[in-house]
Amino acid sequence: MPLSHPRRSALSEQVIAALRNQITSGEWPVGARIPTEPELVEQLGVARNTVREAVRALAHNGLLDIRQGSGTYVVATSELAGVMHRRFADADPRHVAELRSTLESAAARLAAERRTDKDLKQLDVLLVRREEAWESGDPEAFVTADATFHLAVVAASHNDVMTEMYADLGEVLRDWLREDIGAQLTPETHMDHARLVDAIRSGDAAAAAVEAASYPFLCRPGRISAPSGGSPTPSGPLSSSGR
């Protein structure tokens, strides 16, 4: 990502843009440690102070987390995601569950009405991957697979604003899911999402909305229950993969 003869007056902004592009493009995914300051100086061909200023600016905006003695890590993929991550990191779990329930229910309803054949194929693939991640026993692999599946459901709504908002909330929801399932996967946190895909496939908007609305509460059995008159619980036993 070398900079090509940047103007001195815009140098800092260009370095910030170059680093941000590494994040938004997925080259530096959430959770990754970025190159060290000397490495960035060499890659970009700019002074150390300029790199340091750019890293601090992105840390201030919530995209990076500077950890003394460990390095600098990506914590969000956009400024909005960074703000949400800071704002909701210590939020009441019930409030996070209610937000998830509201967003995912609305998205599932729209997905049942608007999904394409391509959307359905993608959901089928991701549902299998989610199950495989569960069976692997790797909590982090499951968190990733589950989050990817739910984002695909929201994307099938074909509401770009809703999809971008949900994506920006992604790391908050991942943190919540990590806390929920703990260090190992257990039967209590294992839920079948096949009914949701079936409802979307059949165009049953009401069933899809009910199914999606319940998951955020069911995935924390004994700790969070749906509010009175709130998210309904789908029929059928809990089986595979959580959330």
Whether pTM exceeds 0.85: no
Could you tell me which of 154, 181, 176, 179 has the C-alpha nearest to residue 165? 154
d(CA 131, CA 185): 12
Q: pLDDT for 117-145, tens place per residue?
A: 999 999 999 999 999 999 988 888 888 88
Q: Which CATH architecture has domain 82-218?
A: Up-down Bundle (1.20)
Computed over its alpha carbons, how large is the radius of gyration of the chain? 20
Mean of pLDDT values over 201-226: 81
Q: pLDDT for 13-56, tens place per residue?
A: 999 999 999 998 889 987 789 999 999 999 999 999 999 999 99
Q: pLDDT for 180-204, tens place per residue?
A: 777 777 766 678 899 999 999 999 9
Q: pLDDT for 78-114, tens place per residue?
A: 887 777 877 787 888 888 889 999 999 999 999 999 9
Which tokens belong to 22? 């590494």
d(CA 169, CA 167): 5
Q: Is the pLDDT of residue 239 over 50?
A: no
Which tokens belong to 143? 């968190």
CA dihedral 72, 77, 83, 86 (to 10 degrees): -50
Mean of pLDDT values over 171-179: 79
pLDDT at 82: 78
Could you tell me which of 232, 182, 243, 240 has the C-alpha nearest to residue 207? 232
pLDDT at 179: 78
Q: Is the dihedral of CA 170, 172, 173, 175 positive or negative?
A: positive
Distances (CA, A) of 227 to 18, 139, 161, 192: 45, 28, 27, 22
Could you tell me which of 68, 77, 106, 87 has the C-alpha nearest to residue 19? 77
pLDDT at 141: 87
- On whether the 8-76 domain is CATH 3.40.50.300, my answer is no
**What 3-state DSSP class applies to 99?**
helix
Could you tell me which of 122, 242, 236 has the C-alpha nearest to residue 180? 242
The set of long-range contacts for 53-60, using a CB threshold of 8 Å and a minimum separation of 24, is 53/12, 53/15, 54/12, 54/15, 54/16, 54/19, 55/19, 57/12, 57/16, 58/16, 58/19, 58/20, 58/23
The residues facing 72 across adjacent strands are: 66
Q: What are the two backbone dihedrals, phi and then psi, of residue 65, each rounded to the nearest 5 degrees?
A: -125, 115
Q: Is the pLDDT of residue 8 over 80?
A: no
DSSP H helical ranges for 156-193: 160-168, 170-181
Across all residues in the chain, what is the average pLDDT?
83
Q: Domain extents for the chain?
A: 8-76, 82-218
Which tokens belong to 193? 């999402």
